[in-house]
């Protein structure tokens, strides 16, 4: 522990005075050490340590015109999918000296708007966003403000923008194919709002699989749309389907939270999984493997999504000339477990 008991805050000026140099030199020590004579540099660094000086980020941002923070706007921080993404983001950002400002929209459009405003006020260097709705104009407005943008889990609709996504149509088709291969002829798709692109794409993929298998495109895929995408909504969906007495052969859930809730609801109602109904989720969150009946799912490279998105973003920020915009699309992967075991 050093002597830095200055009580308040210590500025570059005080460091300069104590080290017998000008403030400019201290600034150089901080930002362009190579431009400073070795002896001077070590002397200044010593004073910095002694005084416990830490650079005033706001002053720096104000002068430099840009900050060392990025914004991360997600739809539901309670969903392990986004948590994994956030972990990837945080790791990369932290390594490169950036701070991450977290914004959780809870699917609420107004709240997302408010978060974006906060990001704008903070003059974040860049923004990672999982847009909750289709609204290109709003995103363009942000870009016009000079804030770099990378779409996370959402393909870009223009080539001058980075995005990192996973093919949800393929994922939906893979899931439905798997269920059909297991012998299901009547499928249900339990989803969140279909205004969410992911939900819609996964449905599209499932529809393709149903059609390709020669099943009835309407009766073959019943769609159950819930207002939320958490475990509670899944449980309610189960209760609803059981109450209405029309259970399909197999159920595909738009994410694992829905699937886990649904699973619980089915089991409580005495429905056996996979014997009575097969079940598959989406995301392959950690808890999918540990559930009552281990849950089949579609795995996405979540952590990697966060890492790569952040790398793209910071590359765009730090090397604006050499940066090449990329739209990266990963392919999801089937993870078959007990909930779709076919030996029935």
x/- letters, 31..70, toward a copy of itself (CB under 8 A): -----------------------xxxxxx-xx----xxx-
Q: Which does 80 bind (CB under 5 to 8 A by kind): DNA, a copy of itself, none?
A: a copy of itself
35 makes contact, choosing from DNA, a copy of itself, none, with CB < 5 to 8 Å by partner type, with DNA
Tokens of 105: 């929209």
Residue 219 three-state SS: coil
Within positions 66 to 125, which residues make up the interface with a copy of itself, using CB under 8 A?
67-69, 72, 77-78, 80, 83-84, 86-87, 90, 94, 97, 99-104, 111, 114-115, 117-123
Contact 287, 256 (CB under 8 A): yes
Residue 12 binds DNA (CB under 7 A): yes
Q: Is 314 helix (H, G, I), strand (E, B) or coil?
A: helix
Nearer to a copy of itself, 96 or 211 (CB): 96
Number of shown-chain residues binding DNA (CB under 7 A): 28
Q: Is 11 in the site for a copy of itself (CB under 8 A)?
A: no
Element (H, E) at 12: helix 12-19
- In angstroms, rounded to a whole number, what is the distance separating the alpha carbons of residues 168 and 181? 19
What token pair was written down for 176? Answer: 């439905």
Q: Please check whether residue 238 is in contact with residue 264, taking contact to mean a CB–CB distance below 8 angstroms.
A: yes
Specify which residues 283 forms β-bridges with. Answer: 299
Helix (H) or strand (E) holding 242: helix 231-243
Contact letters (x/-) for a copy of itself, 274-293, by CB under 8 A? ------------xx-xxxxx
Distance between CA atoms of residues 78 and 282, nearest Å:
16
- Chain contacts with a copy of itself (rule: CB under 8 A): 1, 4-5, 7-9, 54-59, 61-62, 67-69, 72, 77-78, 80, 83-84, 86-87, 90, 94, 97, 99-104, 111, 114-115, 117-123, 137, 141, 144-146, 231, 260-261, 263-264, 286-287, 289-294
């Amino acid at each position: 522990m050093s002597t830095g008991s200055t009580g308040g805050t210590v500025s570059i000026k005080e460091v300069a005075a104590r080290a017998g140099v000008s403030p400019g030199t201290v600034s150089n020590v901080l930002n362009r050490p190579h431009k400073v004579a070795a002896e001077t540099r070590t002397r200044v660094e010593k004073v910095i340590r002694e005084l416990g000086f830490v650079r005033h980020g706001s002053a720096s941002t104000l002068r430099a015109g840009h900050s060392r923070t990025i914004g991360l706007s997600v739809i539901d921080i309670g969903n392990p999918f986004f948590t994994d993404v956030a972990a990837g983001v945080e790791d990369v950002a932290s390594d490169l000296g950036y701070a991450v400002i977290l914004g959780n929209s809870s699917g609420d459009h107004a709240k997302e708007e408010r978060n974006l405003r906060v990001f704008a006020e903070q003059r974040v260097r860049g923004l990672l966003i999982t847009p909750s709705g289709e609204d290109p104009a709003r995103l363009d407005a942000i870009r016009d403000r000079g804030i770099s943008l990378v779409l996370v889990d959402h393909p870009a609709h223009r080539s001058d923008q980075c995005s990192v996504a996973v093919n949800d149509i393929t994922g939906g088709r893979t899931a439905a194919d798997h269920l059909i291969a297991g012998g299901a002829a009547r499928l249900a798709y339990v989803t969140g709002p279909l205004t969410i692109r992911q939900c819609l794409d996964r449905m599209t993929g499932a529809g393709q699989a149903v059609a390709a298998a020669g099943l009835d495109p309407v009766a073959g895929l019943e769609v159950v749309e819930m207002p939320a995408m958490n475990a509670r909504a899944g449980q309610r969906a189960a209760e609803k389907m059981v109450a209405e007495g029309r259970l399909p052969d197999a159920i595909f859930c738009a994410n694992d939270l829905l699937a886990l809730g649904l699973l619980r609801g089915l089991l409580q109602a005495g429905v056996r999984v996979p014997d009575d109904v097969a079940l598959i989720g989406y995301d392959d969150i950690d808890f999918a493997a540990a559930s009552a009946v281990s849950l089949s799912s579609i795995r996405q490279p979540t952590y990697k999504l966060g890492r790569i998105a952040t790398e793209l973003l910071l590359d765009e920020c730090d090397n604006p000339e050499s940066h090449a915009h990329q739209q990266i699309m990963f392919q999801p992967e089937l993870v078959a477990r007990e909930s779709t075991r076919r030996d029935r």
